[in-house]
Amino acid sequence: MALKIWLDDKLVGDQDATVSVFDHGLLYGDGIFEGIRVYAGKIFEEKAHVDRLYESAKAIRLQIPMTKDEMVDAMRKTVEANGIKEGYIRQIVTRGVGSLGLNPFNCEKPCVILIASTIQPYPEEVYENGMKVISATTIRNHPLALPPQIKSLNYLNNIFAKMEAIDANVPEAIMYNHMGYVVEATVDNIFIVKDGIIYTPPVNAGSLCGITRAVVTKLAKQNSLEVVETDLTRFDLYICDEFFLTGTAAEVISIVEIDGRFVGDGKPGPVTERLRKLFFEYARS
């Protein structure tokens, strides 16, 4: 099915949604993005995602050529034009067309792209039975090299780890920072449960401040579950009672095996299942 893509200031057919070979997003990965779910035609955590996009832009000194309200209006028009009830929005803002060379100030105007389409989450049996993961040898980018809060177009660090997962015949890989602390999976945030307490790595360890992560944390606290942000090691992942990931596409998904070791009894745990249900109800309310 042909899609309608928002390009700069209007909707165009997907065949006409093209960017220049001189766009610095293509040449140098100079740009930002967001991935957002749509549930029952409603954009999930719309404000939080738009705020994060504009914060990423500010951090890289990129001036998005539309206001936040205009961005929200464009997103809604793109969702409506494509008849998306259950799906996904990809927001992209590139530095725009410039000359060869790194200088971003030679670029004329940032390019805004909005794609609204369906999404293929993990099969239901993965949610029911849990997922296997490995520890990646690729470490997460140093937070002083590239702040993890910037959702940039350069994902090679994560792609390297994803290739390790694919080579090991599992869907995901766990990434660690330069000090050996747990950071995140290639596209998802990490939580573990030990003795009834939920733990998650702090953002300053090198992870993205996930929107789904924030929602799950809020839901846990509202339901009398304790959540602690603290540095975690591979040992903590090996001995925890439960282990789950959160993310825009994955929502809440249980990890039942890491590096060939069962997590708990090798089945999705009760805290994870409770949070998965709470999130499902919250997202679709």
The CA-CA-CA angle for residues 86, 90, 96, to 5°, reads 160
The CA-CA-CA angle for residues 234, 131, 89, to 5°, reads 105
Which is more confidently placed, 236 or 119? 236
The rounded distance, in Å, linking the Cα atoms of 116 and 127 is 25
Q: pLDDT tier at 58 (50, 70, 90 boundaries)?
A: very high
User: Which residue in this structure is represented by tokens 């660090």?
Assistant: 157
* pLDDT at residue 2 in the model: 87
Please tell me what DSSP assigns to residue 14: G
Complete domains list, the chain, with CATH: 4-117 (3.30.470.10), 124-283 (3.20.10.10)
Q: Mean pLDDT across the stretch 101-110?
A: 96
Q: Mean pLDDT across the stretch 10-24?
A: 96
Q: Quick check: 30 and 93 in contact, CB under 8 A? A: no
Please tell me what DSSP assigns to residue 152: B
Does the structure show a pLDDT above 90 at 285?
A: no
Q: Mean pLDDT across the stretch 40-65?
A: 97
Output the CA–CA distances (angstroms, integers) from residue 219 to 49, 183, 246, in the order listed: 18, 22, 13
User: For the whole model, what pTM was predicted?
Assistant: 0.94
Residue 249, burial from CB neighbour count under 10 angstroms (0-12, 13-18, 19+): middle
Structure-block tokens of residue 5: 């893509």
Q: pLDDT tier at 222 (50, 70, 90 boundaries)?
A: very high
The rounded distance, in Å, linking the Cα atoms of 18 and 6 is 11
Does the structure show a pLDDT above 80 at 1?
A: no
Q: Mean pLDDT across the stretch 215-235?
A: 98
Q: pLDDT tier at 73 (50, 70, 90 boundaries)?
A: very high
Distance of CA 185 to the CA centre of its chain: 10
User: Which residue in this structure is represented by tokens 């050529």?
Assistant: 65
The rounded distance, in Å, linking the Cα atoms of 56 and 258 is 32
Q: Quick check: 29 and 60 in contact, CB under 8 A? A: no
* pLDDT at residue 120 in the model: 82
Does the structure show a pLDDT above 90 at 273?
A: yes
Q: Mean pLDDT across the stretch 163-185?
A: 97
* pLDDT at residue 226 in the model: 98
Q: Quick check: 134 and 145 in contact, CB under 8 A? A: no
Q: Quick check: 237 and 182 in contact, CB under 8 A? A: yes
The rounded distance, in Å, linking the Cα atoms of 270 and 252 is 13
* pLDDT at residue 246 in the model: 98
Q: pLDDT tier at 143 (50, 70, 90 boundaries)?
A: confident
Does the structure show a pLDDT above 80 at 64?
A: yes
Q: Mean pLDDT across the stretch 113-138?
A: 94
User: Which residue in this structure is represented by tokens 């449960």?
Assistant: 193
The rounded distance, in Å, linking the Cα atoms of 198 and 187 is 20
Structure-block tokens of residue 18: 């093209």
Q: Mean pLDDT across the stretch 174-190?
A: 97
Rounded percentage of the chain residues whose pLDDT exceeds 70: 100
Residue of 4, 132, 151, 162 with catalytic role: 151
277 is an active site residue: no
Mean confidence (pLDDT) of the chain: 96
